[in-house]
Amino acid sequence: MFGYTVHRLLVMIPTLLAISLIVFIIIQLPPGDYLSTYMAELQAQGEAVNPQKLAYLREMYGLDRPAWQQYLYWVWGLLHGDMGYSFAYNLPVTQVVGDRLWLTFIVSVTCILFTWVVAFPIGIYSATHQYSWSDYGLTFLGFVGLATPNFLLALVMLYLANTWLGISIGGLMDDRFIDAPWSLAKFWSVLAHLWIPVIVIGTSGTAGMIRRLRANLLDELQKQYVVTARAKGLSPFRTLMKYPLRMSLNPFIADIGTLLPHVISGSAIVSVVLSLPTTGPMLLDALRAQDMYLAGSFLMCMALLTVLGVFLSDLALAALDPRIRLGAGSAK
Amino acid sequence: MIRALPVMLALAALLVGGQAQALNYIETPALADDVAAGRLPPIAERVPAEPAIETGRPGQPGGELRVLIGSARDTRLLAIIGYARLMAYTPSYDLVPDMLAGVDQKEQRIYTLHLRPGHRWSDGEPFTAEDFRYWWEDVANNEMLSPTGPPVALLREGEKPKVEVLDPLTVRYSWSAPMPTFLALLANASPITIYRPAHYLKQFHAKYADKAKLAALVADAHARNWAQLHNRMDNPVRNDNPDLPTLDPWVLKTKPPSERFVFERNPFYYRVDREGRQLPYIDRINAAVADSKIIPVKVGAGEADLQSRYLRFDNYTFLKAGEARNGYRVRLWKTGYGSQLALYPNLNVNDPVWRSLLRDVRFRRALSLAIDRHEINNVVYYGLAHEGQDTMLPGSPLYDEHNSTAWAAYDPAGARRLLDELGLTKRNGEGIRLLPDGRPLQIVVETAGTVAEEGDVLELIRDNWREVGIKLFAKPLQIELMHNRIFGGETMMSIDRGLENGLANAEMSPAVLAPTLQASWQWPRWGQYFETHGMSGEAPDMPMATELMNLARDWMNASDFEARQSIWKRMLAIRADRVLTIGLVAEVPQPVVVSDQLRNVPEQGIYNFDPGAFFGVYKPDRFWFVPEAPADQPS
């Protein structure tokens, strides 16, 4: 177990280096750099841009250097915990990301909880009542949730919430609470705004989870140990909770790996539509403006979380399911 | 709403530089506590000895103005619409001293600027000639801070002005030859700020600051050197440093990054109303960041008191529907672009066949004649726009109907005749004409989506051109990519806004009508040649272009108004006759949403960036809230 852990941790280093290289190359791929975005923005506002000034800015931001030097400079900074400097915000990246991370965290965790709270009972119910009318009905609802484009649902709900309930459009709180210290009123305002993104982001996830839980559970329910348990007189509910449900949980634990980065990246498109102060829209803007250190460092954080998440979920799986042996593949 | 607006505007035009009367100042309620506690001096000591006096009907101080911005970078908008300038345009675009007490000029080349005694920065320090000297000597001419030297706009054919400080309140700029654009530069929407808060910035300047302290500041800010730090701190246009003292009506109080930026009144502002209240009337501006696409929806839900930015003409009906419920009115202001949308044939395109064709005036005229502008107007703009070429608008003293209608009538037969004359008579199976080298006549129009309705308009033009045997393809691109393709000569034709200023008068520079800018999509290479003093780009090689260049130079040297006016008219006539850009429609209304509680916002205005600074010429410091406003946030 210990050897396996060390091995996995060591493998992360080349993985992350490879990711950083790919991230950097992809960010650099589109023609131009941040300054061409900046120039376009100035021109759109009717300002003349002096080419010499651009050359000077390019030198100041280090954009005139060859790409490999920029890459090394960036990676070297990352190793020291320096995420670099955001051109567009004129601030160090850590400060730009700052409190957005926190709000993203709130939204994402609530979404995950919502998904689980809704999906588990429905999934179990449809599996145990397979091919009944209620199974069809719930499955249908799930598919509708999966098939409705998130952004459309978001717009419709925004409009309804505003006209019926008077909730301000977009954002995570009323404007007057931004930057205000936390208070009961602010908390309430956040709750009043939170349910829309949670439902919108949650519905698509819910449908997927219902389907998977139902399928896994159906597999298990057919098995002989279930029949044996029932034959021995165990109550149907206890049987279900104690054996097949546990067996069908493996995929969810494996999911933790992708869950971790999701918690900080949020759902970009929905966040843009709902104008949420989370990290998704920030990342999108940074990529579009080629604000490369902001985009790059943020993507690296997500990569790190993904790698860690996969590692943790592997460990958790091993701990929960004795049938899984660590390093079985490599020991062959 | 009853109000004597025309009278007020007329008075506003007369107001600036008015004689200081014995005014009894009335303390601002929002600042009374600070004054009583001794944190601020009383109003009589805060305003200049000779304040600028607003002669319009007085309003009442107080209230918070809510606006929506698309990103944190939009804090710059407040510096634009605040419109506190050394010189300023009035709503009728006359140039008058604003922050300056006065200006003397001699032969259009020697300008003596007089400051207001007792005028202070927002932190209470005096605003003096030292601030001008600091900028000129220690910023604009410092190799570290401005490696490219002072702004090009201040140079007259490469010659730097002579800047002298005559006394603490008097500064003189002089050139050896006429420099008629100087005062206008000071009044631009994003002006050349020829002064800086020296007392604040010296702490970041190697010449003045203590070495060890400065080194520590540089290290703290993760800056590469002191110059980078200085430039970061000193950005009055970007307006993102809450510590930077300013002369604007509202001062940024929120340190970025944030999702909401608060601007509070400048307690040392230089304007008062005629009863002695210090402006601005509005205490606080609350600018919330929202995605630009969601802003119209939020405005429709009553979440802004004054909004124009990010509202488009096609939002009008939606906004109108929310009027009664959310207590606002949508006003339609005229826009000042020479053309809402214009096609730019690239005279510098790389492809030799296309270049010679696009340079042939008959081809450009044919393209223009083949477009049914009336149809575009009715289909896309409900018939509310002005159809015509990309030239001056009827509101400009330089407007000439001939220029507006030149080659702009819908005449497909005439277009066909011109195309036949060019020898483009062969057609392929589809009925598309063939180029001399046998390729079909397919014009790719590149669009960057600056204006939302570009796609719809191009769709209509496609049908129009199809009828005369020309095929149009629209190619949507990222804006940066489009710029690079245009600069590189790969773009054949692009579509974008027309002339930035369709309301110019003869005192404004006509340089934009000549090939002086790389950002003029019809001749990017020639413009680049001029901008870089011949280092890159191509020299203009068409007689028309050289003539325009000469005219622009003559304008700089012209000694009187008549000469300048006739040069302008000549340049506009060339532009229209040679169809250098193909204008479509202009004066497309801009929706402006104004809260029912907000007063002094004109019912009918011109929405223009430069000159105009959006709301700037209407002086937002005199907008005020009716006090019993239920929409007011409790502060």
* Tokens 């993507």, residue located: A299
Q: Which residue has the higher pLDDT, A96 or B410?
A: B410
Looking at beta carbons, which residues of chain B come within 8 Å of A49? 519
Residue B628 has what pLDDT? 63
Give the closest of A40, A88, A162 to B479, CB-based. A40
- The answer to whether residue B604 neighbours chain A at the CB level (below 8 Å) is no
| Helix segments in B301-351, DSSP class H | 316-321, 323-326
Measured distance CA(B151)–CA(B90) in Å, rounded: 25
Question: Measured on CA atoms in the order A75, A78, A82, A83, is the torsion positive or negative?
Answer: positive
**Entry pTM:** 0.81
Say what angle helices B561-577 and B543-557 make with each other, to 10 degrees: 160
Q: What is the pLDDT of residue A57?
A: 75
Return residues 173-212 of B near A (CB < 8 Å): 189-190
Measure in Å the smallest separation between the Cα of A248 and chain B Cα atoms.
Answer: 41
Candidates B228, B291, B484; nearest CB to A32 = B484
Q: What percent of chain A has pLDDT over 70?
A: 90
Q: What is the mean pLDDT of residues A315-328?
A: 71
Contact flag B291-A178 (C-beta cutoff 8 Å): no
Q: Residue B257 and residue A169: Cβ atoms within 8 Å?
A: no
Q: Smallest Cα–Cα separation from B296: which of B590, B585, B598, B65?
A: B590
> Do strands B341-345 and B493-496 pair parallel, antiparallel, or not at all (unpaired)?
antiparallel
At B92 the pLDDT is: 87
> Are B97 and B87 in contact, with CB atoms under 8 Å apart?
yes
**Chain A interface disruption, residue of B66, B155, B225, B294, most A CBs within 10 A:** B294
Report pLDDT for B272.
94
B310 backbone φψ class: left, alpha, beta (φ>0; ψ -120 to 50)? left
pLDDT for A238 beyond 90 = no
The answer to whether the Cβ–Cβ distance between A168 and B481 falls below 8 Å is: no
Task: Looking at the complex, report in whole angstroms how far the Cα of residue B75 sits from the nearest Cα belonging to chain A.
Answer: 11
* Residue of chain A whose alpha carbon sits nearest to that of B67: A175
| pLDDT of residue A131 exceeding 50 | yes
What is the CB neighbour count within 10 angstroms for residue B302? 21
- A278: closest chain B residue by CA: B259
Of the partner residues B257, B301, B609, the one whose CB lies closest to the CB of residue A169: B301
Q: Is the pLDDT of residue A47 over 80?
A: no
In angstroms, rounded to a whole number, what is the distance separating the alpha carbons of residues B135 and B196? Answer: 6
Residue B315 CB-half CA count within 13 A: 27
Which pLDDT belongs to residue B631? 47
Q: Name B172's bridge partners.
A: B112, B164
pLDDT for B148 equals 76
Which residues of chain B register pLDDT less than 50?
A: 1-20, 629, 631-635
- Residue-level pLDDT at B6: 42
pLDDT of residue A68: 86
Residues B428/B434/B439/B440 CA torsion (nearest 10 deg): -60
The answer to whether A91 contacts B256, with C-beta atoms less than 8 Å apart, is yes
The H or E element that residue B289 is part of is strand B284-289
Q: How far apart are CA B460 and CA B449, in angstroms?
A: 16
Closest CA to B461 of B582, B354, B336, B558: B582
Q: What is the pLDDT of residues B439-489, one digit of tens each?
A: 999 999 999 877 778 889 999 999 999 999 999 999 888 777 788 888 888
Question: Predicted ipTM?
Answer: 0.71
Chain A residues touching B78 at Cβ < 8 A: none
pLDDT of B22 reads 61
A30-34, A45-49, A152-156, B473-477: range with highest mean pLDDT: B473-477
Residue A155, pLDDT score: 81
User: Considering chain A, what is the average pLDDT of its residues?
Assistant: 80
Do B293 and A50 lie within an 8 Å CB cutoff?
A: no
CA distance B280 to B266: 8
Closest in A30, A32, A90 to B232, CB measured: A90
Structure confidence by residue, pLDDT tens digits, A75-94: 888 888 788 888 877 778 88
pLDDT at position A33 is 77
Residue B422 DSSP label: T
Taking only the tens place, the pLDDT of each residue in B114-161 is: 999 999 999 999 999 999 999 999 999 998 888 778 888 888 888 899
User: Residue A108 above 60 pLDDT?
Assistant: yes
d(CA B72, CA A282): 11
Which spans in B144-236 are helix H? Answer: 182-187, 198-201, 211-220, 226-233
Residue A330 clears pLDDT 60, i.e. is over it: no
Distance (Å) from the alpha carbon of B9 to chain A's nearest alpha carbon: 27
Q: What is the pLDDT of residue B594?
A: 96
| Min Cα–Cα distance to chain B from A166, Å | 9
The answer to whether the CB atoms of B294 and A169 lie below 8 A apart is yes
Q: Say whether pLDDT at A114 is over 70.
A: yes
> Does the beta-carbon distance from A53 to B293 stay under 8 Å?
no
Type of residue numbered A157? M
Distances (CA, A) of B365 to A279, B287, B353, B412: 51, 46, 18, 11
What would the mean pLDDT of A215-231 be, rounded to a whole number? 87
On chain B, the residues whose CB falls within 8 A of the CB of A98 are 257
3-state DSSP of B75-96: HHHHHHHHCCCCEEECCCCCEE
pLDDT of residue B14: 44
Question: Mutate which of B226, B262, B480 to disrupt the A interface (most A C-beta within 10 Å)?
Answer: B480
